[in-house]
Structure 1
Amino acid sequence: MKILIIGGGISGLAVALALHRTGQQVTVFERSQAIQEVGAGLTIWPNAIRVLQELGLTNVIPEIGMPAHYRTIRTWRGALLSQIEVDAIAGSPMRLMHRADLQGALFNALRDASIPVELGARCTGFSQDENGVHAQFADGRTADGDLLVGADGIRSVVRGQLFGIPNIHYTGYTSWRGIAEVDARYIPLGISSETWGVGRRIGLIPLRNGRMYWFAAYTTPEGQGKDQSSAERKQEVQELFRGWHDPIEPILEATDRSRILRNDVYDIAPLAHWSQGRVVLVGDAAHAMSPNMGQGGCQAIEDAPVLAQCIQASADIPTALHAYEARRKPRTSRVARQSRRIGQLSQVNNPQLYPVRNILVKALYTRALSKELKWLLQSTI
């Protein structure tokens, strides 16, 4: 089949590779003028690592991803609340990497496979009938195919045309992200860590080449700080975490203010369906979730082989797409619910509940999350 993929992010590129490996003719359409994404790190858990290996990235993963064997949570003073040994659950570590490095690796794999990627192609809509699907782009380009895959993110144009704009839900907290180049003594190797306070938290994710990716979350009304300058963004996040345990303050100080991003955090209400006729959604377009389990990108990657397998198994496109939904929706919905619960727990904004939350986390959280991770990392997709 001739398949049109709208979106050249991690989801779209992974789906393109998976479909190509089953013999489909694939073209990716990306609205940006270049495949690039800055300022963000990713935690790629073993469930997604296995898929990337199946897609031919086995040798690339160690080059772009720092292995992490532990996931820890601490209080703002540095006391340990929870420590999960990933290897003990999954048999292998997770990998910490820059989003742009993973996106670049996937793009290089597409180029090596001669899969076309059309840049500067902003999809404005599509039409379909029993014979095919027709996509339109802002610059006047058009494309025809047998199937259209919407991999265009949380504010998906494809999803909007299929089902209308769903309830995009503000989680209650805003987020800063940045990457610092710091001295090696500030980089705790092999550990992905979070530190929880009252209505605020910060995560530290070591990357290769002496870089530390960090993200910070703060419970605040939606839309605050949208007009901040880069200096104001940095100043606010530094003030929020003043006095927190090492190496938080030095890492924030070492971050170039022009490279600090700030965005409110959203997820979407579950959709009744992900497909209609010859059009289907993948990744954030289908199941955008909050980042609290580090599974948003992982679940998008997982979509790729399942969609490819279902299309290969059935010549009837709607039947194949319904099979894909049936396999993926229960799993992604469970992960999204768990991620939402962790966000609510980590962002407790009542000083009186803070010590109670910490006691519960220390007593129960590690066992509960380990059980959930065992299901997630050991079960098949």
Structure 2
Amino acid sequence: MQISDLKNLTIAIVGAGYAGAAAAKALSVLGANVTVYEQATEIREVGAGIGLRPSSMECFREWGISDDIAAVSSPSDYFEILTATGDPIMKDTWPAHGDQKHTYLVHRGDFIDTLIGVLPEGMVKCGYKLETVTDRGDKAALTFTNGTTVDADLVIGADGIKSVVRKQLFSDAEPVFSGERAYRAVIDVADAHGMVTDDNLRMYIGKGTKVYLLPLRHRDQVSFDITALCPDPDWAPQVSKDDMLATVAGFDQRIVDITAGLDMDIVNIRGVYDIDPIDRWHTDSVVLVGDAAHSMLHHQGQGANSAILDAGVLADCLRDADTVAEALAAYQAQRKPVTDELQRISRQGWTEDEVQDVFPGQKPASQQPAQ
């Protein structure tokens, strides 16, 4: 599309998370008329650390914000997988993308704050919870619970795993429980018992449990993540310190000591969910990006990176196609095969035998619908 055509498009993005903020940045670089509607009354990302892969950093370079991202992150040379007691299993460099060779480790909050901070002032509007989305062919309409209605030439659903846009227009299937629970906290490097000495991600694998240590050197902190098998599908379970300690029994004593020293008030505890791949991500005027389109388990560390690449490809397709409808079809054709495969690979966690070993007599809870 001509730049003049893009500037005349009214684009409404639902959700100001990774996918929505990245899409807003990519489209604003093209000069598009973009407004982001976020249901929260303020932007506040909780959680822990993530790794921004070389392909994502290349997007940031193209959008002119790579220095902003680098300022709140630390470059990592490689990742390492070890046994529960620290014996090496594998060690590899991050897959390079052109001149980009590092994965940048960043706190989720710093990342989203930076993405929002590089958007034009006033582009993000908070306190807009989506109630309905109506597809009118070449346009779409949004109604929010605060009474506001919005008409747009293009609606981008970036509203996450529980996406209202997806449920109303594309699939009413519920999120799927993985049979796992995640415990996440950000702690000072001084409280990591000497386990963090560089900027590289390490994962320790034990009986029914994986422990990730992701350094956040620019903060002098480390993201500490325990992912453990659990048959309880509660989205936000109540968990004790003893429950957490049980998941790391037999691990390197330093990991046990880190867990024992955690302040439970700062631990983010959640059931782990994804969605089944859906057949279609778009109409002629509405499209899904990020978790709304392809929420995946975190084992491959590709959720945020996939959202960023979605944003880049969508912007490129809008720039190159003659119409919005053609652009959305091209975007799905390019991205869906990739994310379908990532969803599949990310589900390759514990085998049925391993689940039985942890929970004798218990049928695997993995891949059961949400309750």
Q: 2:211 is matched with which residue?
A: 202
2:27 maps to a residue whose letter is L
Contact 2:208–2:350 (Cα < 8 Å) also in 1: no
Sequence identity percentage: 32
Q: 1:170 is matched with which residue?
A: 177
Match of 2:350 among 344, 348, 351: 344
2:77 maps to a residue whose letter is H
Match of 2:279 among 265, 272, 277: 272
Contact 1:199–1:219 (Cα < 8 Å) also in 2: yes
Match of 2:104 among 95, 106, 113: 95
Contact 2:171–2:278 (Cα < 8 Å) also in 1: no
SS in 2 for 1:139: coil
TM-score (norm 1): 0.85
Task: Tell me how far apart the structure 2 counterparts of residues 106 and 126 of structure 1 sit (CA, whole Å).
Answer: 26
Q: Residues 70-118 of structure 1: CA distance to partner in whole angstroms, max 9, x if unpaired?
A: 21111111111111122778761211110111100000001xx335111
Contact 2:78–2:201 (Cα < 8 Å) also in 1: yes
Q: Residues 320-357 of structure 1: CA distance to partner in whole angstroms, max 9, x if unpaired?
A: 1111101111111122222222x2369933559xxxxx
Q: 1:153 is matched with which residue?
A: 160
Task: Tell me how far apart the structure 1 counterparts of residues 353 and 313 of structure 2 sit (CA, whole Å).
Answer: 34
Task: Tell me how far apart the structure 2 counterparts of residues 128 and 294 of structure 1 sit (CA, whole Å).
Answer: 33
RMSD over equivalenced CA pairs, Å: 2.2
Q: 2:196 is matched with which residue?
A: 187
Match of 1:218 among 228, 245, 250: 228
- Bigger mean CA deviation after superposition, 25-34 or 184-193: 184-193
Match of 2:268 among 242, 257, 261: 261
- Bigger mean CA deviation after superposition, 93-102 or 159-168: 159-168
Task: Tell me how far apart the structure 1 counterparts of residues 23 and 299 of structure 2 sit (CA, whole Å).
Answer: 24
- Report the alpha carbon displacement of residue 312 of structure 1 after superposing the two structures with TM: 1.9
Q: 2:82 is matched with which residue?
A: 74
- Bigger mean CA deviation after superposition, 81-90 or 50-59: 81-90
1:101 maps to a residue whose letter is D
Q: 2:26 is matched with which residue?
A: 18
2:43 maps to a residue whose letter is I
Q: Residues 354-377 of structure 1: CA distance to partner in whole angstroms, max 9, x if unpaired?
A: xxxxxxxxxxxxxxxxxxxxxxxx
Match of 2:42 among 34, 59, 62: 34
Task: Tell me how far apart the structure 1 counterparts of residues 146 and 174 of structure 2 sit (CA, whole Å).
Answer: 29
- Report the alpha carbon displacement of residue 261 of structure 1 after superposing the two structures with TM: 1.3
**Equivalent residues in 2 for 1:229-378, closer than 5 Å:** 232-341=239-348, 343-344=349-350, 348-349=354-355
Q: Residues 195-254 of structure 1: CA distance to partner in whole angstroms, max 9, x if unpaired?
A: 1111111111011322111111111213259552xxx44331123214421531333244
Task: Tell me how far apart the structure 1 counterparts of residues 234 and 92 of structure 2 sit (CA, whole Å).
Answer: 34
Q: 1:43 is matched with which residue?
A: 51
Task: Tell me how far apart the structure 1 counterparts of residues 166 and 234 of structure 2 sit (CA, whole Å).
Answer: 27
SS in 1 for 2:128: coil
Task: Tell me how far apart the structure 1 counterparts of residues 169 and 151 of structure 2 sit (CA, whole Å).
Answer: 18
Match of 2:65 among 57, 69, 76: 57
Task: Tell me how far apart the structure 1 counterparts of residues 17 and 97 of structure 2 sit (CA, whole Å).
Answer: 29
TM-score (norm 2): 0.87
Task: Tell me how far apart the structure 1 counterparts of residues 204 and 84 of structure 2 sit (CA, whole Å).
Answer: 6
In structure 2, the CA distance between the partners of 1:274 and 1:202, relative to structure 1 (3 Å rule), is: same
SS in 1 for 2:105: strand
SS in 2 for 1:149: strand
1:269 maps to a residue whose letter is D
Contact 1:310–1:321 (Cα < 8 Å) also in 2: yes
Structure 2 spans left out of the alignment, 5+ residues = 1-8, 359-371
Contact 2:54–2:96 (Cα < 8 Å) also in 1: no
In structure 2, the CA distance between the partners of 1:347 and 1:41, relative to structure 1 (3 Å rule), is: farther
Q: Residues 32-81 of structure 1: CA distance to partner in whole angstroms, max 9, x if unpaired?
A: 01111122211111111111222222212222112221211111111111
- Bigger mean CA deviation after superposition, 113-122 or 142-151: 113-122
Contact 2:16–2:37 (Cα < 8 Å) also in 1: yes
Task: Tell me how far apart the structure 2 counterparts of residues 247 and 92 of structure 1 sit (CA, whole Å).
Answer: 31
